[in-house]
């Protein structure tokens, strides 16, 4: 079994890393955080095969704490490791600010130098990551992360302040950071720009775009427009935003269109995949009796008993697929598909077929629909014709 020590174990990166490590086999995870006595650190260092040194301060109450924690703790660790003659793998989180002449940057630079010297003397493997802005779940809002602040405030209906909409940010996602760190433990060499290592991918965004994108996530509950999840940054940012929802706001109601037939509600929309909606239909009621020229749909009966009917509107009257051995369908003939909620069966609705769905059961029929384009009332591509 391999023992892994995480310093700064209660911090943003520390919590995410500990959870990921806990899922691995033959790994014992031990932690050290600011509230722990230094004696527990030395005890943990004796056991540790791998050290993730994440502990640090960036907004202390006293400026001296930069040196005490960021530099001093690192020196204490290294001195004790040398004293007990160990060579653990050490992964340290530094900051791009280590290049700057400010108290925080200076303290991180000194911590880097301590580890580099330790590695030079002992040949112990040391990996130092100069991280840019890290975002993701469990990051403290209204502290030092603009992503966490924007996500939390927007999700909770609070104002955000943008000093310069055109200011550019470099961001890395917490899961990508954790993946990179664990790969090091597994002996896989991370990406590097000697002597420092970096996390991929890095995302570049302006403050204005960041704020607008997060605001669009909140509005999506009303517009039902799904973000462009093919964009890896949007996918990660949306996951981050959702993690900041108030616990009493995980669910929300959909607007229902109600008439004597039952209810219908749109679920999701996107210019990239169309839209989804769901309906509840009373026993004996038929929906549809229309066709499309280009729009295609899929029906999935979730509960109840139905018959989905088709009739080709092709003027020639004979389905051209019959000519290549396919099933025959006269233009005037009705094709029937009995579909039950007992099986999750998809029924495709081709263009050029007028179609309907009838509830032939004794209880409400629940159906999930997908269309490959968002409904445009001004050009709906929907034409009434009874099956």
In this predicted model, what pLDDT tens digit does every residue of 36-58 receive, in sequence order?
988 899 999 999 999 999 998 87
CB 300 within 8 A of CB 349: no
Average pLDDT of 297-318? 91
- pLDDT tens for 227-273 read 999 999 999 999 999 999 999 999 999 999 999 999 999 999 999 99
- Residue 329: its pLDDT value, please? 46
What is the longest distance spanned by two Cα atoms in the chain?
Answer: 91
- Residue 135: its pLDDT value, please? 98
Average pLDDT of 16-25? 97
Q: Are strands 27-32 and 2-7 parallel, antiparallel or unpaired?
A: parallel
User: Which candidate in 104, 129, 241, 353 is catalytic?
Assistant: 104
Q: Tally the residues of the chain.
A: 387
Calculate what percentage of the chain has a pLDDT beyond 90.
83
Average pLDDT of 6-23? 97
Q: Does residue 65 surpass a pLDDT of 90?
A: no
Burial of residue 191, with CB atoms counted within 10 A of its CB: 0-12 exposed, 13-18 middle, 19 or more buried: exposed
Q: How many CB atoms lie within 10 A of CB 253?
A: 7
Bridge-partner residues for 170, per DSSP? 204
- pLDDT tens for 160-173 read 999 999 999 999 99
Q: Map out the domains of the chain with their CATH numbers.
A: 2-214 (3.40.50.720), 256-384 (2.60.120.10)
- Rounded (to 5) percent helix, strand, coil in the chain: 30, 30, 40
DSSP 42-97: HHHHHH-SEEEE----SS-SSTHHIIIIIIIIHHHHHHHHHHTT---EEEEEEEGG
CB 322 within 8 A of CB 328: yes
- Residue 323: its pLDDT value, please? 47
- Residue 330: its pLDDT value, please? 47
Angle at 49 between CA 46 and CA 51, to 5 degrees: 90
- Residue 327: its pLDDT value, please? 44
- The two tokens of residue 38 are 């230094």
Report the predicted TM-score, pTM, of the whole model to 2 decimal places: 0.89
> How far apart are the C-alpha atoms of 240 and 138, rounded to whole Å?
9
Lowest mean pLDDT among 82-86, 322-326, 365-369: 322-326
Query: Is 337 annotated in the active site?
Result: no
CB 56 within 8 A of CB 69: yes
- pLDDT tens for 92-112 read 999 888 888 888 889 999 999
Residue with token string 């990239």:
272
């Amino acid at each position: 079994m391999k023992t892994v020590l995480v310093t700064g174990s209660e911090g943003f990166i520390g919590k995410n890393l500990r959870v990921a490590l806990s899922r691995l086999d033959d790994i014992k995870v031990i932690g050290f955080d600011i509230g722990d006595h230094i004696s527990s650190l030395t005890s943990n260092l004796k056991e540790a095969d791998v050290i993730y040194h994440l502990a640090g301060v960036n907004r202390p109450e006293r400026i001296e704490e930069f040196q005490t924690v960021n530099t001093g703790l690192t020196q204490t660790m290294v001195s004790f490791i040398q004293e007990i003659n160990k060579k653990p793998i050490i992964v340290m989180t530094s900051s791009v600010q280590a290049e700057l002449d400010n108290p925080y940057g200076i303290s991180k630079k000194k911590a880097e130098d301590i580890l580099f010297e330790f590695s030079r003397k002992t040949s112990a493997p040391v990996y130092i990551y100069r991280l840019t802005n890290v975002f993701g779940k469990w990051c403290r809002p209204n502290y030092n992360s603009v992503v966490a602040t924007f996500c939390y405030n927007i999700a909770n209906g609070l104002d955000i302040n943008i000093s310069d909409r055109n200011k550019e940010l470099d961001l890395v996602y917490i899961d990508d950071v954790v993946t990179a760190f664990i790969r090091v433990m597994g002996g896989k060499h991370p990406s590097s720009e000697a002597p420092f290592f970096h996390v991929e991918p890095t995302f570049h965004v302006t403050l204005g775009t960041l704020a607008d994108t997060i605001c669009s996530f909140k509005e999506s509950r009303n517009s039902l427009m799904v973000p462009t999840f093919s964009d890896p940054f949007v996918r990660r940012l949306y996951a981050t935003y959702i993690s900041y929802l108030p616990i009493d706001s995980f669910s929300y109601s959909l607007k229902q269109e109600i008439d004597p037939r039952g209810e219908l509600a749109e679920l999701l929309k996107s210019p990239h995949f169309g839209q989804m909606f769901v309906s509840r239909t009373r026993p004996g009621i038929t929906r549809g009796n229309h066709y499309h020229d280009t729009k295609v749909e899929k029906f999935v009966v979730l509960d109840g008993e139905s018959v989905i009917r088709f009739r080709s509107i092709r003027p020639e009257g004979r389905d051209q697929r019959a000519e290549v051995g396919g099933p025959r369908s006269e233009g005037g003939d009705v094709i029937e598909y009995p579909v039950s909620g007992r099986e999750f069966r998809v029924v495709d609705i081709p263009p050029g077929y007028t179609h309907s769905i009838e509830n032939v059961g004794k209880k409400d029929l629940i159906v999930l629909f997908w269309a490959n384009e968002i409904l445009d009332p001004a050009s709906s591509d929907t034409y009434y014709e009874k099956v």
